[in-house]
């Protein structure tokens, strides 16, 4: 015969612990204050702005309060401030964030796969024209826009171009344009998942009518010269991971606006050869300090990532100069 369970439980028959073996309250075991949910807010707390604990030595010079009570009061104030802040009307930047492991990994290996910032005068021996590199960068950008590639693909193509020219001398203008087209095609293979171009399209859009065999031959040369090391750290990847680490401190709309404005500085730095001496993270933090200076200071990014203040200041000034120069030319 099956036994059916009762629909209700008789709480009167539920066993209870003896008084001497019942769980002790938390405040009896540890010297911590009562939870803020169990006590009213202090009269010194402002419900509009975050709580700032008062100094424990204020107006106590002549009192008989000893050192132990002062320390306990200070610990109580800090606990109250830490536990009640999420319930108050906090600004998003009042809470610190922890960088993700991927962000730290990007920061640690950003010095790898960077071009020689002085290859124009060393490897190329001054044979390149002054305006040829900005022209090649614009060609990579135009070709990427034609295929609707993302901005990180443009960075990869220019990185491949600069690294190849850092070790191989190229004089003919036709070979330089063929190199730029091949770098865009190679960068799209690794940077684009759904928009990989056809080599025939790249050959058709080439500046001097390069054939498919020419593009393949130049692609093989680039791969051999770069030793198949085709995953450099880009400013876009660092910025994206940084905003992801910040999490809910910034709304999505604000993150998109910050990303779009930083992309403007990234494109300006990409065209100027003097910006090659700065690592990608320095470009990211310099752009952030220009786009949202107050948020940058309150997050403490300079001290968190131990950035060189002088280098950061030089990079920020150069980005500001490039932005003002572009604005003056557009007028």
- Mind listing the pLDDT tens digit for each residue in 101-141? 899 999 999 988 999 998 888 888 777 777 789 999 999 99
Task: Note if the pTM is more than 0.75.
Answer: no
Angle at 56 between CA 50 and CA 59, to 5 degrees: 115
- Separation CA 144–CA 267 (nearest Å): 13
Tokens of residue 219, six digits:
């692609």
Mean pLDDT in residue range 82-100: 48
- Separation CA 19–CA 33 (nearest Å): 24
C-beta neighbour count of 6 within 10 angstroms: 6
Q: Over 80: is that where the pLDDT of 152 sits?
A: yes
Tokens of residue 185, six digits:
């095609």
Q: What is the pLDDT of residues 223-245, one digit of tens each?
A: 999 999 888 999 999 999 998 88
Tokens of residue 194, six digits:
């759904």
pLDDT band (50, 70, 90) for residue 96 = low
Q: Are 312 and 285 in contact (CB under 8 A)?
A: yes
Identify the pLDDT of residue 15: 45
Q: Which helix (H) or strand (E) holds 315?
A: helix 309-330
pLDDT band (50, 70, 90) for residue 157 = very high
Q: Over 70: is that where the pLDDT of 256 sits?
A: yes
CATH code 1.10.472.10 region(s) in the chain: 93-102+234-330, 117-226
Q: Are 235 and 152 in contact (CB under 8 A)?
A: no
Q: Which residue has the higher pLDDT, 90 or 163?
A: 163
- Separation CA 166–CA 114 (nearest Å): 10
Identify the pLDDT of residue 70: 53
- First-residue to last-residue Cα distance in the chain: 93
Q: Over 60: is that where the pLDDT of 77 sits?
A: no
The residues near 224 (Cβ < 8 Å, ≥ 6 apart) are none
Question: In angstroms, what is the C-alpha Rg of the chain?
Answer: 30
HSE value, Cβ hemisphere, 13 Å, CA-based, for 201: 11
- Separation CA 99–CA 244 (nearest Å): 9
Tokens of residue 242, six digits:
């940084």
Q: Which residue has the higher pLDDT, 57 or 319?
A: 319
Helices (H), 57-116: 67-84, 101-108
Q: Which is nearest to 134 in space by CA: 296, 297, 303, 275? A: 275
Question: Considering the domain 93-102+234-330 in this protein, what is its CATH number?
Answer: 1.10.472.10
The residues near 42 (Cβ < 8 Å, ≥ 6 apart) are 51, 80
pLDDT band (50, 70, 90) for residue 247 = confident
pLDDT band (50, 70, 90) for residue 294 = confident
CATH fold label, 117-226 = Cyclin A; domain 1 (1.10.472)
HSE value, Cβ hemisphere, 13 Å, CA-based, for 80: 22
Q: Over 50: is that where the pLDDT of 64 sits?
A: no
Q: Are 80 and 33 in contact (CB under 8 A)?
A: yes
Tokens of residue 33, six digits:
């204050």
Q: Which residue has the higher pLDDT, 197 or 4?
A: 197
Q: Which residue has the higher pLDDT, 286 or 100?
A: 286
pLDDT band (50, 70, 90) for residue 68 = very low
């Amino acid at each position: 015969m099956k036994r059916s369970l009762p629909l209700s439980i008789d709480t009167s028959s539920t066993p209870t612990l003896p008084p001497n073996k019942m769980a002790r309250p938390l405040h009896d075991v540890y010297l911590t204050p009562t939870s803020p949910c169990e006590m009213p807010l202090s009269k010194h707390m402002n419900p509009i702005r975050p709580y700032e604990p008062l100094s424990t030595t204020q107006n106590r010079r002549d009192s008989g309060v000893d050192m132990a009570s002062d320390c306990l009061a200070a610990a109580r104030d800090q606990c109250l401030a830490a536990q009640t802040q999420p319930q108050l009307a906090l600004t998003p930047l009042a809470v610190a964030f922890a960088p993700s492991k991927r962000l730290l990994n990007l920061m640690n290996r950003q010095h790898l796969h960077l071009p020689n910032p002085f290859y124009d005068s060393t490897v190329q021996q001054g044979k390149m024209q002054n305006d040829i590199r900005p022209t090649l960068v614009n060609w990579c950008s135009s070709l990427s826009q034609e295929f609707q590639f993302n901005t990180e693909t443009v960075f990869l193509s220019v990185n491949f171009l600069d690294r190849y020219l850092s070790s191989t001398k190229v004089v003919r203008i036709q070979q330089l344009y063929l190199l730029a087209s091949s770098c865009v095609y190679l960068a799209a293979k690794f940077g684009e998942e759904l928009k990989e171009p056809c080599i025939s399209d790249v050959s058709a859009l080439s500046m001097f009518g390069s054939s498919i065999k020419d593009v393949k031959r130049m692609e093989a040369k680039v791969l051999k010269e770069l030793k198949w090391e085709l995953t450099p750290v880009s400013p876009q990847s660092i910025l994206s991971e940084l905003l992801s680490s910040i999490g809910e401190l910034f709304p999505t709309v604000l993150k998109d606006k910050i990303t779009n404005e930083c992309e403007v500085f990234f494109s300006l730095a990409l065209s100027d050869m003097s910006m090659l001496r700065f690592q990608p993270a320095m470009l990211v933090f310099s752009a952030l300090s220009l786009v949202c200076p107050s948020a940058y200071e309150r997050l403490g990014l300079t001290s968190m990532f131990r950035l060189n203040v002088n280098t950061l200041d030089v990079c920020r000034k150069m980005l500001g100069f490039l932005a003002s120069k572009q604005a003056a030319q557009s007028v």
